[in-house]
């Protein structure tokens, strides 16, 4: 019966590509046309095993980047599905700015598929989305990170906590700020209002985009100071400086080593 109904619905409202809107004759698990699906540029090895930034070279092993060699990161590791360009950029803009919060379910599914393919999700005890300031939340009407995190939490039957970590100061968008200004912009902007809820727990911090990493690092610092055992970061997209325009199509995804609770502390190895 459900199949018949779906068939009728598809006749009246044929499924359309999430990003370009073209009618889909048939599609895989995601409502994307082949061209848009091919426009997702996945982040693959070689990359930094700590912050997850991919290197311009398409050859060689993963290794720590200069920033991770010289500065301690508050998170154990960070990973992103793909580069913040093409289909992912378009889909995130539709989702956040053009009144298509429903796209979040599709994007959350992409993130859940990715997370499940690289990590043993049982290593996590709690999913924490990056909060929006209440003023921004009123403007937008929803927090994109909560929508994405909810899909991931549901998939892996993990609890979701979107009330403990708060954005207490409004911040200006990081775009256009210098390196030091970005860091100062988010410093002190977050707090953990009920630290007992995260104490001793292994957290997966979720956001839509890793741009400079400052916001995510600040959130991870606050969570660690509040007593979290460890924090890993997952974002859908990551802004990657890419002067060479290299495409790493044929490389195996990195970090295929499954994680379990015993080796959580080995994430940085």
- Report the interface residues with Zn ion, using CB under 5 A: 17, 20, 33, 36, 48, 50-51, 65, 68
Nearest to Zn ion of 65, 253 (CB atom): 65
Q: Measuring CA to CA, which residue among 146, 141, 113, 142 is closest to residue 129?
A: 146
Cβ nearer to Zn ion, comparing 65 with 177: 65
Whether 43 and 80 have beta carbons less than 8 Å apart is answered as yes
Strands 190-192 and 165-167, sheet pairing: antiparallel
Choose between 62 and 120: whose C-beta lies nearer to Zn ion.
Answer: 62
Residue 260 CB, nearest distance to Zn ion (Å)? 23
DSSP secondary structure, 117-180, as one string: HHS-GGG-SEEEEPPPPHHHHHHHSS-HHHHHHHHHHHHTT--B--SSEEE-S----STT--HH
Find the distance separating the first CA and the last CA of the chain, reported in whole Å: 52
For Zn ion, the closer of residues 109 and 136 by Cβ is 109
Nearest approach in angstroms of CB 13 to Zn ion is 17
Task: Please state the closest distance from residue 161 (CB atom) to Zn ion, in A.
Answer: 27
Q: How far is the CB of 224 from Zn ion (least distance, A)?
A: 18
DSSP state of 243: S
Helix then strand then coil, % of the chain, to nearest 5: 35, 15, 50
Could you tell me the two tokens for 112?
């859940």
Closest separation in Å from C-beta 240 to Zn ion: 12
User: Among residues 65 and 158, whose Cβ is nearest to Zn ion?
Assistant: 65
């Amino acid at each position: 019966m459900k199949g018949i109904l779906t068939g009728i619905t598809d006749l009246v409202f044929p499924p359309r590509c999430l990003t370009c809107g073209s009618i889909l004759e048939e599609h895989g698990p995601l409502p994307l046309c082949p061209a848009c699906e091919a426009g997702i540029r996945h982040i693959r090895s070689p990359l930094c095993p700590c912050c997850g930034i991919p290197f311009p070279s398409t050859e060689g092993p993963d290794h720590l980047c200069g920033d991770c060699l010289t500065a301690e990161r508050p998170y154990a590791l960070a990973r992103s599905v793909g580069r913040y360009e093409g289909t992912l950029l378009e889909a995130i803009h539709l989702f956040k700015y053009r009144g298509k919060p429903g796209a979040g379910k599709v994007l959350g599914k992409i993130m859940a598929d990715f997370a499940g393919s690289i990590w043993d999700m049982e290593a996590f005890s709690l999913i924490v989305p990056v909060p929006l300031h209440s003023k921004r939340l009123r403007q937008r009407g929803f927090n994109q990170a909560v929508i994405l995190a909810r899909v991931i939490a549901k998939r892996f039957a993990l609890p979701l906590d979107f009330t403990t970590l708060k954005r207490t100061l409004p911040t200006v968008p990081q775009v256009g700020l210098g390196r030091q200004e970005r860091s100062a912009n988010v410093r002190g902007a977050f707090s953990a209002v009920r630290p007992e809820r995260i104490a001793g727990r292994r957290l997966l911090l979720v956001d839509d985009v890793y741009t400079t990493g400052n916001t995510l690092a600040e959130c991870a610092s606050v969570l660690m100071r509040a007593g979290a055992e460890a924090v890993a970061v997952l974002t859908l997209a990551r802004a990657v400086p890419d002067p060479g325009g290299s495409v790493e199509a044929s490389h195996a995804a990195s970090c295929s080593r499954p994680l379990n609770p015993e080796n959580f502390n080995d994430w940085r190895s």
